[in-house]
Structure formats: C-alpha cells, structure tokens
Structure 1
Amino acid sequence: MAGRILIVDNVPTNRIILKVKLSSAYYDVIQATCGKDALDRARDSDPEIIILDTDLGDMTAHDACAHLKADPATRHIPVLIATPPGDTEAKIAALKAGADEFLAKPIDELALTARVRALMRARATTDELRRRDETARSLGFAEAPSSFAALGKIVLIGRSAEDAMTWRAGLRGLVMDEIEIIQADKVLEAIAKNNVADLYVISSDILGKTNGLRLLSDIRARPHTRSAGIVVVHGPQDRKEAVMALDLGANDIITRGADPEELALRLRSQMRRKKEADVLRNSVDEGLRLAMIDPLTGLYNRRYALPYIAQVSQKSILLEQNFALMLIDLDRFKLVNDTYGHAVGDQVLTEVAKRMRDNLRGIDLVARFGGEEFLICMPMTTLVEARTAAERLRSVIFNTPVAVASDGTSVSISASIGLSMGGQTGETIEMLLQISDRALYDAKAEGRNQVTLGSHAA
C-alpha cells in the first residue's frame, strides 16, 4: 500500500465514496464515524494523513484538528479538511485551526490524489525528524528543543512586477518575514550568486503558459534551493496545471485572486515546515556528532545506524510498508591504499560518500558501516525503486574517477551492492543484514561492480 489514510465523516455514504477514490490509488484507508473516534484511531494507528469532514457529529472539523495538533502523539500527522464550495471563511478557518490543506466539496478526485501525494512527501520529512530524535534518545543523547522564531526570506515571482507587488501589498502586516520581488528571468542568476530564499511564490504562467512550472523544476534542481518551499499561484480554471505543479515538487498551490489572508496562512505554514526541514539536516549537536558521525566521510556511523533502522522497521510493520537495506562495499579498495597511499584512499571514501548522499532522498540513511563498507536504509520504498536507486549508486560511483593521486593519475573504483527488503517480509534487522551481506558476497563472486538481490527479494 502507498500509505495509510484516516477518513472521518459521520455520513457513511461520504466515507464510502472517498474510500473508493483513495483505494483505487492503493492507499490503505481506515475510517472513523465521529470526532472522538477519529482522535482514538489517530493515536492507535498513526495514519499518514487524516481527512476530516466539516461536521463530525460530536464536534467540528476545526475542533478535531485543534485536538490533533495539540496532542504530541498526533500533531505531526497532516490534516486535510473538506470545506463547503466557495466558502472563503471556511477555508481560512480550516487553515487557522491547523489544517495542512482543505478541499472544496464536491471533492475532485484528481485534486485529491495530487494533494495526498504532496502531503505524503511532507509527512516523510516529519517522520525522518522524529526518527532522528528517537534514535538519539535511544542512544542516551537528548537534543534541546529547537526554536523556529528566526525570520525567513520569501521571494515573489509574478507574471509581472505589478502582479508581485499586489501580492506583497496583500501580505503587509500578515507575514513578518523578509519579502523580495525578483523578475522571473533573474531568479536562477540570483540563486547562482547565493541570493537564495526559504520560500518561493511563483506564478504558473510567467514568460508563457507553463514556464512557471519549468522554473519550479529549475529551482528544485539547484543544490542551494532543493529544500526551499515553493508555492505556485495558478488560474481558477488551470486544474491540470495545478496538479502538475504538486507532482513536480511544489509544496503548495493557491488559486489566483485568493484572499491575502489565505496566502499568508499558507506561507506561514510552509515557513514553519521549511524551518523544521532545516533542523532535520542541521539538528545534530556537536556532542551527538562526535558520538554518531564518521569524522572522515561525515556520514552516520554503525552506532547510529542500527537503532535508526529499528525505528524504520517498526514504522514499516505498523503501516504495512516496505523499506530497503543495502550493503555497499568498494571493490579492491585495499589495492588503492597499497598503490596510492592512505591519503588517496581517504579521498576515495569521502568522494564516494558524497556521491551517495547526492543521489538519494533526504529521508534515506547513508552510514559508514566500517572500513570501505557502507549501509543505506530507504524507508517507504518498493523493490523496483530500491533496485533503481542501487543501480544509480553503482553507476555514479564507477562512471567517473573518485580521486587524483599525487602524480596526477585519476583513480577510479567500483562498488558491489547487496540488497534486501524489510517491513512486510517478517525478517528481523539482523536477518536482513545477513541477507544483504550474502547478496553482497554473491555480487563480489559474480565479478564485482553489480547489484545483487537477497534471496527473499528476488
């Protein structure tokens, strides 16, 4: 299943219709009949998304959302509220109550599934932050709570300067972050000069009908803005364009001409998420770093990796999802050390670590497991996705030299990869590591520089 979704509605017919729409996309759908039932189901089953109808019988969706966001056990779950059609006040009230999104009734299936996919991506980031904190605590390291009080920067990219100035005027007094207007054809130049923002608001029809979506993709592809929040402003009739924006990586979309308060609420929500994502990448304090980070490569070490994978495994079993484990060993690494010296060997390890990090998702774990061996854990991953990722890693390691010797010689290396799948397969972490290790041995025996699946995953 693609993920678990809790539907809450006191009208059985509404629940059935929504369940059919989501089940057709292979989501695992569970149901609740009222607000109290929803709060209990959310704590017990930890769904990845909760969809609330406006009226839950015993309480409103806004009350239920407020309870969910106030409970430490459920506050991380994205909430989507179904609102009456054309009711601007209901939309704004939903966002103020803490909802991550709303959908106007009757719910459009295309818009629903696109929103769900986007919220699933956001949830994955939140889960990674929680796993990191739980792993640190299991090792006896408690990180201080982080504050997100620091102001951020928002860049507005309208279809014209007047367009962007209208947005800025509407946000005055509602958003405290720094706001800058940049012409569409100057944005990438600004990023290249390290003038980057936390959030980008982009009109979908700049420089032509869909060039806003092209700019979205360009911003996502740049290393300095890969994790930026992106909100796309689209026309009221541009339904397919809006869905495409979400699937291309937009964090949020908003209809052109929407109430400025709605835009401000969305931007504040996205800024909060951006700051949390920054914590995800930067939160390990120095004491924790010394204990759990490999000083040469900057990767996590074995001590951190094993309890982390245990957290992933528990979550995967609960949600009936799969995750992937890879053991990666550099082929004939000892020969590199013997031929070029340990300094070059260290260059090789550092460069290989960088290439692996650059070619995996932010939620994936990359660890140095010992010597020239690395461990990768990919949560919420199918076998096909894992095999594709493993082949990509093998290729990026082998295709270009990874170091230069003192005499100017280019040093290349290959890697053998053993892959296993966990979650619904029933194996313990120790068993999965053994399966990956046997697959790695087979990859070596069959000629090296290849990916081999463990026997249970074939």
Structure 2
Amino acid sequence: MTARVLVVDDLEPNVKLLEAKLRAEYFDVLGAYSGQEAIDLAVKEKPDIILLDVMMPGMDGFEACRKLKANPETMHIPVVMVTALDQQADRVAGLEAGADDFLTKPVEDLALFARVRSLTRLKMMTDELRARYATGKDLGIVGKIDPDADTGETRVFLIDDNEDQATRLIAALGDDTYQVIHEADPEIALTRARAGEFDLILVNLSIEAMDPLRLCSTIRSFEETRLTPILAVVRHGDTRKLVRALDIGVNDYVTRPVDRNELTARVTTQLRRKRYVDQLRSSFQVSLEMAVTDQLTGLYNRRYLASHLSAMFDRAYWTGRPLAVMILDIDHFKDVNDKHGHDIGDLVLKEFADRISGAIRGIDLACRYGGEEFLVAMPDTDLSFASVVAERLRQEIAGSKFRFNNGRDELGVTVSIGIASTENGPEDDSAQKLIKRADEALYEAKNGGRNRVIQSAA
C-alpha cells in the first residue's frame, strides 16, 4: 500500500532521513520545516498522513497539531508525533492535542511503517466517506458534522483473562465516563462483540486461552464490528506482535504498564474518530435516501422506479409469475391547488401517499410517478387481485375525506386508477410497455368519468 506522507521537522537531516526510509518502502514523501509550512502544505497537498516533530522554533508540534485538527479540511488527516521527548506527560500532551500516535526517536523502522500503513488504510476509507458527504452537502441535503457531539453513554468492551489487569483497566477508564463490560473468555467474547453494539473494544494481547491476534482478526472480520475501533494492550518492547496487530486491523495500542492518562487520551481519540466516521456514514445514508425518495411523500421517486421496476419485470419473466402495475391519478387536483392553495395540495398528496402505503403489501413498490400521479408495482399479482386492491383503495379515498387545519376543515377527493399486468402482455413485453398499458387504462378511466378503476385491454 502506497501513500503520500508529509514529514515535518525543523532540521533538514531529520527530514531527509525519514524521507529516504519511506521512499525505500515506496511511499510518496513531502517535506516541511516549520509548523506553519506543514499546515499550508496539508491544506494544499492533502497528504494521507503527517509525521510531525514536536520541538520546533516558533510554532511547536503540539500547536501545529491542534490547528490541523481544528481545520475541517485537515482534521481527518492522521498525525503521528515523532520526537526525542520520551516522558509520559509528553505522550499524553501529544495525544490530547489530537495526534493519533506518538513515536520516540530513534524510531524503529518496523513500527513506523506498520503505523503509517495502518493509519493510511483508515484515512482512505474516511476519504471515500468524505467525498460522498461533500456531494450531499453540495446538494443541500445533509447538515454539518460535529465529531464532538454528545452521543450518550459510551460502551467499552474489555477482553482480558487477567482479572487483576482487567480490574486496573476498568478503574483507569473510570466508572463515570464509560460503561465497561468485561469478558475473560475469548470464545464468549466473540459472540458478545457481535451482539453488543460497543463503541470500542479493548483487547489484552497477552491472553492465553486463544491467539490474541486471531481474536482481533476475527472481530475485525465480523460485519457488525468491521468499523468498531480496537485498542490493544501490549507488553512494552513486543514490537513484532504490535506490528502484526496493526496489520490485521487493530486501530491503536497502549503499552504495559498502562498509564491512566495515556489510556484515556487514546480511547478519546478513537471514540472521536468513530463518531466522525459514523456521522459521515449516516449522512451518506441520508443522501442515498434523498436521491431515491420523494421528499414530500416519502415514497420512492421516478429515478428509483426506472431501475427497480426493470428488475421486478425480469424476475416475473423468468419465474412466470405475473407482475401488476397500477397508476393512480388524483381527480381534479388542479382545482384543489387553485381553491385551497399549494400548501393544502401538498397535505393532500402526503396523506394520499400514506393511504397508498397502508393499502399495499410490504413486497409492493409504491412511488410518486409525477405531480399527482402515483405508481404501484405488485409482484406475484394477477390482474384480478390487483383490481380488488385498487377498488378497495378507490373506495377508501372517496369515502374518507381529507382533513386539514387541525381537523377543522375537510376536503373530498377521488382517484382514477389504471391497471395492467404481464398476463396479457405481448411476446416482446417490457417494463415500459407495461407502464404504458396501465397509463392507457388510466386515460380511459379519466375519459369515462373519473373515480373508477379500469383494467388494460388484453
């Protein structure tokens, strides 16, 4: 996996050394020699990861990291502090500034490359979600994302067969901040992980009942936990196991003996990123729904119908089971808008759609076909049964008035319905021809006096 890496250090030899190591692993490398230059390059070049020195004149690495994480254009770029500082307080300060990791010079190459690859994979997934979010934002259908928003109680799943260490970890996390659920048996933990809807999974990489790397790999392979952050507890100096863990999808790690402040900082970082990714995914789902649904009625729109009806028709053709289509048109709807206004007209359309939804089955497809026209596709349905459903719906519409102004006013509405089925279609039948036959039947219902159901001719 290749990536674009921004190396930041005020000493050119340090930049050149890291650049040479990274280029040897086929990474694309950019160099910056101050905090401000790093910020400017990050905005302009959009690197996949930033290796940031702490001790720099003017703006130090902590301040540069805070500014990068505060900027919406760069907040998603992983930052790794690379410094000669080796005190625990310095590590915590870097993590609290928003850094994703803190590596101490001289950096071990194996650990550096594993961390760069791990964070780059995460960045690439986030980039795809950000691109989808940007499209939805440009269309005005999704709102602002706030990764610091309060999402309620946070559930942390601790997998550790060492009771003493588990007790210390639970105490370090704090009873008031997180709801910590502990499981000592790895086999049971796998089942609970899939069903628990946890916000973060904390795994001791020294458990004995199961290969801990196999445990992490299995958790990452489950659909339910594919995106749940995994934080590993690893013995200090066990670089080989740590590198393997990062390669198979562990998001972050903390070394034993565990420092409470560092653990809290790393958990906070992972949870903040999870909230950010969850909001991106949610906004994409909203964008997708908006793209295929009619905003006023909540039914599917014509764009969705164009692709989905063809699939329903093909299934009917291959299985030999009939597919019925009915097109419904509200009678004299222009008069409703002219006499009562478009606001009342919209209320009528929405309630009309709700009545359609309440009258059809879950397997049926209902959409707003255009204006006051609606279409319902009914798989495994012959013409006679579709006619029964249509007639029942016609009677319900005509017999129950539409109420508005908090029930003070009411309006009578009728509907004309045309029905067609694949039963009486030609040999070269198609989804579009099926719609056309239903539309012709609707036209006949309109010309015949409205408020009626007409079947298409054979």
Give the TM-score normalised by the residue count of structure 1: 0.63
Structure-1 residue corresponding to 2:361: none
Which of 293, 301, 318 matches 1:339?
318
Q: Is the 8 A contact 1:46 1:74 kept in 2?
A: yes
Aligned equivalents of 1:74, 1:342: Cα separation in 2: 55
Distance 1:197 1:334, change over 3 A: same
Matched residue of 2:203: which SS? strand
Structure-2 residue corresponding to 1:267: 267
Matched residue of 1:80: which SS? strand
Structure-2 residue corresponding to 1:118: 118
Structure-1 residue corresponding to 2:54: 54
> What CA deviation, in whole Å up to 9, does each residue of 1:218-255 have, x standing for no partner?
21122221221101111112110000000011011111
Aligned equivalents of 1:302, 1:229: Cα separation in 2: 39
Larger mean CA deviation between 26-35 and 120-129 belongs to 120-129
Structure-2 residue corresponding to 1:236: 236
- Return the letter of the residue paired with 1:187: A
Structure-1 residue corresponding to 2:368: none
Q: Is the 8 A contact 2:51 2:80 kept in 1?
A: yes
Matched residue of 1:232: which SS? strand
Matched residue of 1:233: which SS? strand
Structure-1 residue corresponding to 2:73: 73
Aligned equivalents of 2:292, 2:258: Cα separation in 1: 46
Structure-2 residue corresponding to 1:437: none
Q: How many residues align?
A: 316
Q: 1:276 Cα shift?
A: 2.1
Q: Is the 8 A contact 2:50 2:80 kept in 1?
A: yes
- Return the letter of the residue paired with 2:24: S
> What CA deviation, in whole Å up to 9, does each residue of 1:411-441 have, x standing for no partner?
xxxxxxxxxxxxxxxxxxxxxxxxxxxxxxx
Q: Is the 8 A contact 1:8 1:56 kept in 2?
A: no
- Return the letter of the residue paired with 2:181: E
> What CA deviation, in whole Å up to 9, does each residue of 1:85-120 have, x standing for no partner?
532111111011111111111011100011111111
Q: Is the 8 A contact 1:148 1:272 kept in 2?
A: no
Aligned equivalents of 1:343, 1:154: Cα separation in 2: 51
Q: 1:282 Cα shift?
A: 2.4
Q: 1:38 Cα shift?
A: 1.2
Structure-2 residue corresponding to 1:2: 2
Aligned equivalents of 1:191, 1:37: Cα separation in 2: 43
- Return the letter of the residue paired with 1:47: P
Q: 1:334 Cα shift?
A: 7.2
After superposition, residues 416-455 of structure 1 pair within 5 angstroms as: none
Aligned equivalents of 2:27, 2:99: Cα separation in 1: 21
Distance 1:337 1:30, change over 3 A: same
Structure-1 residue corresponding to 2:291: 292
Q: 1:284 Cα shift?
A: 4.3
Distance 1:99 1:343, change over 3 A: farther
RMSD: 3.3
Aligned equivalents of 2:301, 2:50: Cα separation in 1: 35
Q: Is the 8 A contact 1:184 1:207 kept in 2?
A: no
After superposition, residues 101-180 of structure 1 pair within 5 angstroms as: 101-146=101-146, 148-150=149-151, 151-172=153-174, 176-180=177-181
Matched residue of 1:162: which SS? helix
Aligned equivalents of 2:232, 2:301: Cα separation in 1: 39
Structure-2 residue corresponding to 1:100: 100
Q: 1:9 Cα shift?
A: 0.6
> What CA deviation, in whole Å up to 9, does each residue of 1:11-46 have, x standing for no partner?
111111101111111111000111121121111111
Q: Does 1:203 align with 2:204?
A: yes
Q: 1:212 Cα shift?
A: 1.3
Aligned equivalents of 1:166, 1:155: Cα separation in 2: 14
Q: Is the 8 A contact 1:184 1:206 kept in 2?
A: no
Q: Is the 8 A contact 1:128 1:280 kept in 2?
A: no
Q: Is the 8 A contact 1:125 1:277 kept in 2?
A: no
Aligned equivalents of 2:137, 2:122: Cα separation in 1: 23
Structure-1 residue corresponding to 2:192: 190
Aligned equivalents of 1:106, 1:172: Cα separation in 2: 34
> What CA deviation, in whole Å up to 9, does each residue of 1:106-151 have, x standing for no partner?
0111000111111112212332332122111333423244563113
Q: Is the 8 A contact 1:204 1:212 kept in 2?
A: yes
- Return the letter of the residue paired with 1:204: L
Matched residue of 2:126: which SS? helix
- Return the letter of the residue paired with 2:318: T
- Which structure has the bigger radius of gyration? 2
Structure-2 residue corresponding to 1:41: 41
Distance 1:302 1:68, change over 3 A: farther
Matched residue of 2:196: which SS? coil
Q: Is the 8 A contact 1:8 1:52 kept in 2?
A: yes
Q: Does 1:216 align with 2:216?
A: yes
Matched residue of 1:10: which SS? coil
Structure 1 unaligned residues grouped into runs of 5+: 305-331, 345-404, 407-458
Query: Moved runs in structure 1, 4+ residues, more than 4 A?
Result: 300-304, 332-336, 341-344
Give the TM-score normalised by the residue count of structure 2: 0.63
Q: Is the 8 A contact 2:9 2:52 kept in 1?
A: yes
Q: Is the 8 A contact 2:7 2:31 kept in 1?
A: yes
Matched residue of 1:165: which SS? helix
Q: 1:159 Cα shift?
A: 3.2
Aligned equivalents of 2:157, 2:301: Cα separation in 1: 38
Distance 1:195 1:240, change over 3 A: same
Matched residue of 2:224: which SS? helix
Q: 1:333 Cα shift?
A: 9.8
Q: Is the 8 A contact 2:8 2:34 kept in 1?
A: yes
Aligned equivalents of 1:301, 1:57: Cα separation in 2: 59
After superposition, residues 75-90 of structure 1 pair within 5 angstroms as: 75-84=75-84, 86-90=86-90
